[in-house]
Structure 1
Amino acid sequence: MRPIASKRVRKGAVAVVALVGALVLGACSTSAPAENLAVQDVDEERTVNFFSPMEKISPDTENTARTASDLTIAMAEERLGLTLAYHTYTAENYQDKTYDEVCLERARNNSDDLYLLNTDAIVTLGSEGHLADLSGLSCAQNLREVVRAANTVDGKLVAIPQEVVAYGLFVNKDIFDECELSLPNTPEEFLECCRVLKEKGYETPVGANRWWLETFVFAQAYADLYNGGDVAAEVQALNEGRARYSDYMRPGFEFLKKLIDLGYVDAENALVSEAFEGAGEGDDFMAGTCPIVMAYWDAANTDTAYGSPSFNMEVIGFPSARGQMPVLSMTGCAVGERAEHRDEALKVVDVICSDEALQLYAETNRVISPSKNVEVECVEPLRPLNDLVQADTYVLASNAGMDVEQWGNVCLIVRDLLGGATVDECMAKLDALQDAA
């Protein structure tokens, strides 16, 4: 349910809108103590237990992602004559356990029937045999191929998202026009834009937080792999150690290091800033004092983080050698292989991930659907990003077929770079992760 996207379930400030869609967030996620798991008491006879995050950006923000999820769940309850009992991860205290850690514990102990999982948890639980194969469900036949591949572990489709989460660069087009700048396509063009913006008095051209700078890395690392390469063969080479993640990602890390060294990104501030907060983000971007930030698709929708700017905003892909590149992430609905109500939970997934339910979900949230049969009109600022995705131009930041989990691990290594680590030290960490895998 979101990401799925993969938005990964991230720390408090971003959580749910970045969530049931993007569970925008895991190894790089929010943390909370186990005692914060709230359980709803219902009749167990016709009950499916559903574990998911349930947070908002702020108390007075309407959680449209949650509403969309509720609509599809209500559809399943009515059609199947059962009740979904929510077992809820809340983030009262971020210092204890991450959402992913709690998911792993609960799934390994068969505590629930249905889960909303980040990709790293999908990889771990799928490889351990804790997740049911969903490939036989009717809804699975309608998935975009990229969605199927990204949620397949050891040949089994173990998760299905309700949306695909697209990340992009949110640009104040008015500032670019005033500075006579074209929207950048390549890393070199992006650096030149930053140079001009800094000369024009924008002290930190790129507003950044501690979660999403890895999007620059993914866009440059995997532009060729997902757009013209033999994806299956290259992923197999990575899993067998014949190719190195560090070779793919070094250019992206070198690019980020240059952004930091030239003062285009405030590394010290980014390292301690949550999403939509900190200098250059949130109020600064909306006030027109910061030209560029990065965020996920939903943030451009009305009544969300950047949904009602007073300036002309465009959301574009990240710079790569192949041009602007959206970065996609996914979270997924998964069923416990040995869950008490396994068969009922499978039926629930077949309903909430059906084309009818996904159409309802996508229309409510105005998001990219995992179904090849579902399309929804997007808001005007998202058209550049949407056009690229619909043309199958993108890279994946979460792919369960890769033995090394991508989004969370790269996020943490980028934080090392923000904290002063060298590019070589970051590459050594990537190599160590791959060797361990």
Structure 2
Amino acid sequence: MSARFPVRLRRTAALAAVALLCAALTACASGEGARNLAVQDSDAAAAVVNFFSPMEKASPDADNTARTASDLTMAMAEEQLGLTMAYRTYTAEDYQDKTYDEVCLERVRSAKDDLYLLNADVIVALGAEGKLADLSGLACAQNLREEVRAANTVDGKLVAIPQEVVAYGLFVNKDIFKECGLAVPSTPEEFLEACRVLKEKGYDTPVGANRWWLETFVFAQAYADLYNGGDIEAEVAALNAGEARYSDYMRPGFEFLKALIDRGYIDAEDALKSEAFEGAGEGDDFMAGECPMVVAYWGAANTDTAYGNPSFTMEVVGFPSERGPMPVLSMTGYGVSAEAEHRDDALAVMDVILSDEALQLYAETNRVISPSKNVAVDCVEPLRPLNDLVQADTYVLASNAGMDVEQWGSVCLIVRDLLAGASVDECMAKLDALQDEATGK
């Protein structure tokens, strides 16, 4: 396994990442022989590209917008290139043996497939091992947002490209804030004061939380300057060389979370055991107007989704930082095995499904943020504050393959330690240990 993401972290963090990944993009298929994989029939006379991806639902025939959007772009590739996409799918009911990330690592290393949908930690590991093809020469790569390109570049090679960028934000019940005479907070200090007032007004848990997404508060404060005015390349190089410390970047965010926990603004005990959209303040409580704020990702605000039709005025904003509200972005990515049997065909598929034409279709179908700087779609009203920031290139990245320490999963697990009672210093020591391992110190 790559030293960039230790096995002890990868195994657990993969569960968080794959939950999002499965909700973001899926494919349907039927039986390959291995009990947790499936392959659709293909025309033996036609060129075939084998595509390995997760599946969101146990039933491959269940309706799913993300699957439909993905299939539409895959159909474009089949038509334009005269080939067949063969879906090889990891199914959710077989998680008990191996996580999706573990299966991806094995399959890419042995070049069992051509095209893959990968989580950020796997992109880092396989990119460092030289197991993923360099995509920088593709036409579709020329239209990427610069931060998206940076987040998927390992050792100078662009090794993955996403079909969408997942933006996390703070979902706010504006009616509660108005009743309490509060403005939506922009800075950490304003956020703490708003929580104090909300608790005094009878809202026992101002922030509904689960065990996956509280790291968003940390990233917003840690990297606000780095991604908004900093010298990204130089600062990342200093971190990879051990000349700068991740703990110095992240300490303010961990101290902020510790204050939220200590003052009872987050129910740490409940958050530690709760899945997404569950727990104190989340799910039913937020939708019932009994909890003022929750953390969730962009798609949760769309119609007919988790928080899509609230009975109150909802607004999705960035997380507090000294630079103001800050969206936190994460992404999965398509990658091609460097040793794929149908490598050239797979690269050609990438150029079709990630073209501006295909990304426009995908974004309009799923109403998501595109990785292309040329593609924009309208969003539901509650998402406008978050969308305005993203379109103005104001955000931070929670996944960056150029960083030798994997970000999203690693910080998620260390935040859980904080929820379980660890001190900020103990959490910083874990960050330092991860960095020292990555730099070989």
How far does residue 17 in structure 1 lie from its aligned partner after superposition? 6.2
The yes-or-no answer on 1:114 pairing with 2:115 is: yes
2:267 aligns to what?
266
Equivalent runs, 1:11-410 vs 2, <5 Å: 14-15=19-20, 18-20=23-25, 35-44=35-44, 45-56=46-57, 62-410=63-411
How big is each residue's C-alpha offset from its partner over 1:2-56, in whole Å with a ceiling of 9 and x where there is no partner? Answer: xxxxxx97559955663229xxxxxxxxxxxx84222334345521111111105
CA distance in 2, matches of 1:310, 1:237: 48
Partner residue in 2 for 1:24? none
- Aligned residues: CA RMSD: 2.0
Structure 2 counterpart of 1:42, one-letter code? S
Cα separation, 1, equivalents of 2:297 and 2:97: 26
Is contact 1:207-1:281 (8 Å) kept? Answer: yes
Q: Secondary structure at the match of 2:53?
A: strand
**Does structure 1 residue 417 correspond to structure 2 residue 422?**
no
**Per the alignment, do residues 119 and 228 of structure 1 end up closer, same or farther by CA in structure 2, a change over 3 Å counting?**
same
Separation in 2 of the partners of 1:132 and 1:225?
28
What TM-score comes out, normalization by structure 1 length? Answer: 0.92
Which residue identity lines up with residue 287 of structure 2 in the other structure? M
Query: What is the match of residue 10 of structure 2?
Result: none
Query: What is the CA distance between 1:270 and its match in structure 2?
Result: 0.9
Measured in 2, the distance between the counterparts of 1:12 and 1:336 equals 21
With over 3 angstroms needed to count, the CA separation of the structure-2 counterparts of 1:59 and 1:160, relative to structure 1, is closer
Question: Using a 3 Å threshold, how does the CA distance of structure 1 residues 57 and 247 change in structure 2: closer, same or farther?
Answer: farther
Contact 1:148/1:157 (<8 A) preserved: yes
SS in 1 for 2:50: strand
- Percent of aligned pairs with the same residue? 81
Q: Residues 157, 11 of structure 1: CA spacing in aligned structure 2 closer, same or farther, 3 A cutoff?
A: closer
Distance in 2 (CA, whole Å) between partners of 1:93 and 1:276 is: 23
What secondary structure is seen at the aligned counterpart in 2 of 1:433? helix
In the alignment, the residues of structure 1 paired with residue 61 and residue 178 of structure 2 have an alpha-carbon distance, to the nearest angstrom, of 34
Distance in 2, Cα, partners of 1:302 & 1:61: 18
CA deviations 1:347-379 (Å, max 9, x no partner) are: 110000000000000000111111111111111
Alpha-carbon distance between aligned partners in 1 of 2:266 and 2:97, rounded to the nearest angstrom? 30
Structure 2 Cα separation of the partners of residues 112 and 86 of structure 1: 10
Deviates more, 1:50-59 or 1:158-167: 50-59
Give 2:250's aligned amino acid.
M
Q: How many residue pairs are counted as aligned between the two chains?
A: 418
SS at match of 2:23: coil
Output the amino acid matched with 1:359: Q
The verdict on how the C-alpha distance between 1:18 and 1:215 changes in structure 2, with shifts beyond 3 A counting, is farther
- Distance change >3 Å, CA 60–CA 169, structure 1 → 2: farther
Q: 1:62 to 1:288 in 2, by over 3 A?
A: farther
The secondary structure found in structure 2 opposite 1:226 is coil
CA pair 269-13 structure 1, distance change in 2 beyond 3 A = farther
TM-score, normalised to structure 2, is: 0.91
CA distance in 2, matches of 1:306, 1:260: 25
Deviation string for 1:97-130 (max 9, x for gaps)?
Answer: 2221111111001111000011111111011010
Please give the alpha-carbon distance, in whole angstroms, between the structure 2 residues aligned to 1:12 and 1:388.
Answer: 24
Name the SS for the 2:350 alignment partner.
helix
Where 1:193 maps in the other structure, the secondary structure is helix
Q: What's the CA shift string for 1:180-233, capped at 9, x where partnerless? A: 110000111111111111111111111111110000000000011111111111
Q: Which moved more, 1:40-49 or 1:408-417?
A: 40-49
